[in-house]
Every structure is written in C-alpha cells, then in structure tokens.
Amino acid sequence: MTTLPERDDRKTTPAIQEGVVRWRSPSNIAIVKYWGKYGEQMPCNPSLSLTLSKAYTETQIRFGPRKEEVPAREFSFHGNPAPQFARRIESYLERLADVFPVINETDLHIDSENSFPHSAGIASSASAMSALALGIGEIAYKAESKFPDKAFMQRVSQLARLGSGSACRSVFGPAALWGEAPEIPESSQEYAIPVEIHSDFHRVCDTILIVDDAAKAVSSRAGHMLMEGHIFASARFAQARSNLKRLLPALRNGDFETFGRIAEDEALTLHAMMMTSKPAYVLIKPNTLAIIEEIRKLRQERKVPVCFTLDAGPNVHLLYPGSAKKVVEEWIGETLMPLCKNGLLIHDRVGTGPEKLE
Ligand code: PMV
C-alpha cells in the first residue's frame, strides 16, 4: 500500500519572506538496481547506490510571498528559460504543495545547472530532483523558522522519491539504501537511508564512459512499467534481494571482488529485463559490449580490480578502488577512450552527499 508523506495539517499556512536557497546534489549509481515500481514511486525491490561526487546539479531558488492569485513559477537551466522541463517541475511542485501548503503561497524562481555536459547522456533526474526537493524543503522549513536537521534529510529523501525514485538515494552519501530489506530494520519503502561502508569504498572511482549521448529510445518510466506482468518479474525481485543480502557485508568488509560480481550481475540483468520485456528493447550498443570485454580482459590477464555497471542506457560505469587509479586511468586512455563517443568520459568518484551552498 502506498503511504503518502505526512501532510502539514496546520490550519494557517506559515508566512513566507523573501530569500534565496541553493543546494548542490549529486547523482548516484545503483549497484543493486531499482527496476519496477508500484503505487506512488514505491520500489518492487530494495536498491543500493554509491553517491557520486563530480556529477551533480546545483539549484538556486529565489522565493517570496505570492504576488498574484496564482503563484509565479519560473524555471531556467544554465541561465536560459527551460520550458521543456516546466511541466514535469510544475506537477512535482503541485505534489510538494500537498505536503507543504506554504508552497502555494510562494513565488518561485528556479535556476539549475548540471556539472556534466548535457550531451553526456547521463540521466540527471536523480541529482536534479534531489536538489529541488532540498531547496523546496528548506523554504518550507524557513517558513516555520526551522533549520535543516537529520529528520529534514529523511523527509527530503521521501519528497525526492516523488520526483524520481532514484533521487531519494542522492540525499545521502557515500552509500544509500532505498526499500525495505530485512537485514536493515530502519530501511523503508518511502525514503532512503545512509549505509555505512568500509573506508576503501569511500575511495572507489567511477569513470563514466560515454558510448552514446542520444536521448534514450525508451524512458526509465516506461521501462519500470514494463516490469508489470514481466515474465521474469518475481525472479528478478528475488535476485535483487539476494544480491543486496550479499552486497551489504561485502561493502562493510571492503570486499571489492564480491562487490564487482554483484555489480555486473545486476547491470546485465537490468538489460536482460529490457531485452525480454514486451515489447522488447535494447539500449546497449556495440561499444558497450566492446568495453565490457576489455574490462574483463584487464581483470583476468593483469589481475587489476575493475568491474562495471550500467544505467538504463548504453554508457558504462567503470568502478575501481582508489588504490588502482593510476594504472586504470592509464589503461582507460589507451584502450577505452577510443571506444567512447568523441572520446568523452567523466572521471568521478564516491562522494559524501548534498551540500548546502551560501
Ligand atoms: O529513478 P528512475 O525512475 O529514473 O529509475 C532509475 C533506474 C535505474 O537507474 C536503472 C536503476 C537505479 O536504481 O537507479
């Protein structure tokens, strides 16, 4: 059953003053994947991600008391008007106003920027929606003269989930778990929680290899829906739970080998689900497979600890311990860069979560 975020049920809406809030929120990469949902963005299985560092969205919101009957809403992206995002953001703001009615009394001017090029084909909804939820949450808290605290982050994670499921995990670093898992009693379907991991995993690098930068032929939203009635759905959800159960001790103990096996199993299963849904579709490209082969070769022939994961797209996330950075980066330059579109790649690493900017 879907439980909605608690509504602020006071009779009067708190007064809003003029101000500006700014947040930087990172993207995240799922190791155990969320693929399949029900109700209001509830996951069919728990997922666990590493929070990134250099791939982030910065969102600034100027706000003030509503001047007209209808509150003003203005969006820009890198300083330019962004009507293409307006509908999604507006309907998200309407949903947030159910939780924080003060948003209906507030004019909002929202400006966002991504740290990564738009052409990189990186899904930005996790960083964008979490940055927006942080900003709106802070405005609502300000109206009540409250300051962001631990409970605030949990609430924001819940609100971010309504914008984009995976966004709820970006609120915490270096790792976040979303969805009920028996191993972690505090886990929830509604929001993500931070997960403690071995210090070696705090230094894990993620090089994002851009194989193709075109917009995806099938959106994640459609992909989630195709898990409804999917012939492998229940086996897939059970696999994710069992992978999570094995991943948690590996992350605690610094066991990169088990981590890698699970990451690759999850990535390939995610794409297997797409290839066996009805209708079926394929998002990986020839160079996705060429890169995977090279990664396996490096691991087998030179015993370098590397593994990969994939998002719902053709780009490859190459994961490796910070201690292997030098040798891996050299090899990437020689072997993988030629397989990337226009040689494009982004060297990222595990990060600590969102930052409030002054
Ligand atoms: O949050 P969404 O609806 O964009 O879905 C994300 C789906 C994956 O990136 C493929 C997996 C995940 O857990 O992030």
Q: Ligand 1, atom 9: nearest CA belongs to which residue?
A: 311
Q: Measured from the CA of 123, which atom of ligand 1 is nearest?
A: 4
The CB density around residue 252, as the number of other CB atoms within 10 Å, is 13
Cβ neighbour number for residue 64 with a 10 Å cutoff: 16
177 Cα to the center of ligand 1, angstroms: 13
Q: Which pLDDT tens digits describe the chain residue by residue (358 residues)?
A: 445 555 555 445 667 899 999 999 999 999 999 999 999 999 999 999 999 999 999 999 999 999 999 999 999 999 998 887 888 899 999 999 999 999 999 999 999 999 987 766 676 899 999 999 999 999 999 998 888 788 999 999 999 999 999 999 999 999 999 999 999 999 999 999 999 999 999 999 999 999 998 877 899 999 999 999 999 999 999 999 999 999 999 999 999 999 999 999 999 999 999 999 999 999 999 999 999 999 999 999 999 999 999 999 999 999 999 999 999 999 999 999 999 999 999 999 999 999 999 9
Say how many Å lie between the CA of residue 115 and the centre of ligand 1: 20
- Contact present, 240 and 46 (Cβ < 8 Å): yes
Q: How far apart are CA 128 and CA 135, in angstroms?
A: 11
Q: How far apart are CA 304 and CA 300, in angstroms?
A: 8
Residues 6+ apart with CB under 8 A from 103: 71, 93, 96, 97, 136, 139, 140
Rounded distance, CA 5 to CA 98, Å?
A: 9
The pLDDT assigned to 2 comes to 45
Question: What is d(CA 111, CA 16) in angstroms, rounded to the nearest whole number?
Answer: 20
Mutation probe of ligand 1 site: the residue of 27, 47, 52, 166 with most atoms within 8 A of C-beta? 166
Choice from 25, 27, 34 to test ligand 1 binding pocket (greatest atom count within 8 A of CB) = 34
Tokens representing 305?
Answer: 């600890």
Distance of CA 80 from the midpoint of ligand 1 (Å): 27
Within 10 angstroms of residue 136's Cβ, the number of other Cβ atoms is 30
Q: Which two tokens stand for residue 282?
A: 């394929």
Residues 150, 308: Cα–Cα separation, whole Å: 33
Distance 274 CA to ligand 1 centre (A): 13
Residue pointed to by tokens 């699970």: 262
Return the pLDDT at 232: 98
Atom of ligand 1 nearest to the CA of 47: 13
- Neighbour count for residue 8 (Cβ, 10 Å): 15
Nearest-CA neighbor of 204 among 88, 41, 81, 318?
A: 318
What ligand 1 atom has the least distance to the C-alpha of 34? 13
Question: With contact defined as beta carbons under 8 Å apart, do 205 and 326 qualify?
Answer: no
Which uninterrupted H or E stretch holds 192?
A: strand 192-194
Answer whether 231's CB lies under 8 Å from 276's CB. Answer: yes
Residue matched to tokens 């930005």? 124
Dihedral sign of CA atoms 229, 231, 233, 234 in order = positive
Determine the distance separating the centroid of ligand 1 and the alpha carbon of 166, expressed in angstroms: 5
Place of tokens 């090089």: 207
- Best residue among 29, 31, 35 to mutate for probing ligand 1's pocket (most ligand atoms within 8 Å of CB) is 35
What is the DSSP code (8-state) at residue 282?
Answer: -
Give the SS3 label for residue 83. helix
Tell me which residues have their CB closer than 6 angstroms to ligand 1.
30, 33-35, 47, 123, 125, 164-166, 220, 224, 270, 311-312
Q: Are 36 and 224 in contact (CB under 8 A)?
A: yes
Helix (H, G, I), strand (E, B) or coil at 77: strand
pLDDT recorded at residue 3:
53
